[in-house]
Amino acid sequence: MVGAPWGSSGGGAGLRRPRRRVRGQPAGGVDTSLVRWEKAGRLGLYFVEMGAAPRPIDVLYDRAHSTMALAAAGAFDWAGLADTQFFHVSGITLALSDSSREVARRAMEEAKGRGASVTMDVNYRQRLWGREAAAEAVRDVAPLVDVLVATAEDARDLFGADGVEQLQAALGVETVVLTLGAAGAIASRGGTTVRRGGHAVETIDRVGAGDAFVAGLIWGLVDGSLELGLERGLAMSALKMTLHGDLFRLDAGDVAALLAKDHREVGR
């Protein structure tokens, strides 16, 4: 089994039982023991208005002055990163505040110092910050990143890169992965390019599909294979879109079944 600790800062002002919500994460194999709880402060929120083509999903963020946005790098016990294989950072953390950017950078430095590989999803959100600020922040931490994930749209809009090799050259990251929507994903590492196609999906809910992809990618990397990471990531992303909510509530068997195409429209 692969352990997946989650490091964050949480507060509960205005919410009922926020700790119970977080403590429910272990059901999905997520260790929440590294989450810092503040006696005062608020948990960041976002609100989603669902949409279907041609109307997009609309998201409103309420993250200002949350405990994570106000967190200081010195408040975390970085020793908890010991024995970490892969440490993942979302670009959304960089967007929240100057202090959250410093927390993310410090965490990446601490993880690399303990021998971990650092993965990062650019995760650009235009309602949190502008393109220039986002691009500058990603460039600043790029030397600490071993595996960078971005959508083709973010690569183009933030860095002027029209392909995976261009983005890799622009940021100097060893491994770069571009997600291509329904067309799948492409990765570049050490002069070699790997591409995998997507899966046909009847979409129920797109929220969380990107995170599911990254989870599958890292799962493959833990097993030593970038190719397998792309395949698992695309399978998990497709499966997530068949579920309501932003959590991937399936297991490895479901992923294996899709990859083996051992499934029927009605499971019986």
Give the catalytic positions in this structure: 211
Nearest to 177 by CA among 158, 160, 191, 163: 163
Residue type, 247: L
Burial code (b: 16+ CB inside 10 Å, e: under 16) for 118-138 equals: bbbbbbbbeebbeeeebbebb
Residue type, 1: M
Q: For residue 47, what is the enclosing H or E element?
A: strand 45-49
DSSP one-letter code for 80:
G
Residues 120, 88 contacting (CB under 8 angstroms):
yes
Q: What gap in Å lies between CA 217 and CA 121, rounded to an integer?
A: 11
